[in-house]
Chain A
Amino acid sequence: MDARADDPARGAPPADDAREIAARVEVIYRRDSRRVLATLIRLLGGFDRAEEAVHDAFRAALERWPVEGVPHNPYAWLVSVGRFKAIDAIRRGARFVSQEDVAELVDSMGCEPAEADEGIEDDRLRLVFLCCHPALAPDARIALTLREVCGLTTEQIANAFMVPAPTLAQRIVRAKAKIRTARIPYHLPSPDELPERLASVLQVIYLVFNEGYLASTGDSPTRSDLSAEAIRVARLLVTLLDEPEVQGLLALMLLHESRRAARISADGDLILLDAQDRSLWNQALIEEGGRLVQHALRSRRYGPYALQAAIAAVLTEAPSTDTTDWHEIVGLYDVLLRFDPSPVVELNRAAAVAMRDGPEAGLLLIEALMATGALSDYRFAHTAHADLCRRLGRREAALNSYRRALALTRQVSERRLIERRLIELAG
């Protein structure tokens, strides 16, 4: 490590250090640009000015740090320079506005950068809550979070969700226009707003994770970048908010993530839990997830995410499907149903009952559930029904349900799995 780079007081480094400084600026950009943005949105009162200011601040860093050295606190330096550049730009652009108006605008731009440091973690939280505000369209929340909180480019997000880049850009532009025009505030939710607002944040994070874990369409069964981003935001939230559901969601994602390497065969085929090579599971993630689940459950303020994580922990911690504690899993589903009495949770509980009491008991529950019609377009209901029929030797019923599931499935590796079952049964 170059001691001089940490000590700007020792003056300008020689020119051959310029490349090294540029590399450090890049590292600092990756580490700090979202924090700088989050604070500048507060100080400058809007996305557009703040984004431009972040850009200007890093450009200034590339010019000045090779001469002046890297400052002790790059974040504070960047916020201060960004704010100064923005005010300068407003002054220069103030042809139609009186000097008094400019002075007022500049006054309204918040506190001095010296104070800016204090609210920094709150700023990152504000940014997450703003991007996930329930007044924004669900698609826009996801796009805005990935763009502003994670710093992905519009093209990267468009590729991940397989939409044309202009469509995605338009989504972000509309959302920002609504934030501005309807004046969606940049503040932390009050305690009585928190449950609703947090639910929206957690939903956005989990949707992003799932899009990366079990992509609903297309060839690639997993897009790990999106999952990694979702975990990154959840880790940030865990450090900023002491909420059991946040810990629960992070635990749930880590426990899914721990099995990623075992889910897909070398040929790109999906491998179900009972057939996975458990030596491929990531033990560090399983342990971290397990600890978070324990912590969340002990709080007694847990909700659906912590309960789903607890179920995932029981599944992951057992050495095999046979030795899994299905009694405990059914019990956890019973509690989960009290929070989320949805047909999908009923279906998962029925599958656990089939493991505990045998396929016949599970099939009775699933057929009663399907008779209500609530799951007729849900592909996993048909595969669950088909699997139990197959295990009970009811060939015709199994074939029918696999065919129905296939008609509802777009994801390629899932389709291949169903097609394999159809061939096995037909043979």
Chain B
Amino acid sequence: MKYLCLVYLDESRLAELPDEECVAYDREIRGSGHCLASEALASVSTATTVRVRNDRRLVTDGPFAETKEQLAGFYMIDARDLDEAISLAAAIPPARVGSIEIRPVRPIRETVAAIEAERAKGAER
């Protein structure tokens, strides 16, 4: 089962986490086969937000909401269940300084594919 681990962190505390340590964990979790994708993000001060309203594009600086902790990176992991996901997430180094939000992935492609297959079967009949 896939979970997205969103790494939140107060950017002013980034210095407490050496890059080497983060990359070491990244190598470890990728080596274990549990990691499907992972990236660290550039500072939230470089973020741009886009919205479309009434077919008009609206571009603004920065994220939607001001919060103390910012999204700093993510790991897409494959875990047996939530307990295994929690163990993997707890070992992500920024968990000691910030927090990791663990979200199950919604199998949207599989759901739509099943509906389409059902429809195709109906059409055959």
Contacts and interface: CB of A to CB of B under 8 A. Distances in A.
B82 interface: yes
B122 to A, nearest CB: 11
Size category of the binding interface on chain B:
under 10
B63 interface: no
Contacts of A183: 1, 81-82, 104
A293 to B, nearest CB: 33
A96 B118 contact: yes
Nearest to A197: B83
A89 B80 CA distance: 27
Nearest to A190: B83
B20 to A, nearest CB: 26
Contact of A135 (B1, B80, B86, B118): B86
Contacts of B82: 135, 182-185
A185 B79 CA distance: 11
Interface string B96-121: 00000010100000000000001000
Nearest to A180: B104
B118 A193 contact: no
Contacts of B80: 185
Please report whether the interface of chain A is mostly helix, strand, loop or mixed according to DSSP.
loop
Interface residues of A, number: 10
A185 B80 CA distance: 9
Nearest to B104: A182
Given A96-B118, A183-B1, A193 B104 contact: no
A181 interface: yes
Of listed A135, A183, A185, A189, residue having the most chain B CB within 10 A: A183
Contacts of B104: 181-183
Contacts of A96: 118
A239 to B, nearest CB: 25
Interface in A90-139: 96, 135
A385 to B, nearest CB: 35
Interface string A182-223: 111101010001000000000000000000000000000000
B103 to A, nearest CB: 8
A135 B102 CA distance: 10
Contacts of B83: 184-185, 187, 189, 193
Given A135-B82, A185-B83, 17 more contacts: A96-B118, A181-B104, A182-B82, A182-B102, A182-B104, A183-B1, A183-B81, A183-B82, A183-B104, A184-B81, A184-B82, A184-B83, A185-B80, A185-B81, A187-B83, A189-B83, A193-B83
17 contacts: A96-B118, A135-B86, A181-B104, A182-B102, A183-B1, A183-B81, A183-B104, A184-B81, A184-B82, A184-B83, A185-B80, A185-B81, A185-B82, A185-B83, A187-B83, A189-B83, A193-B83
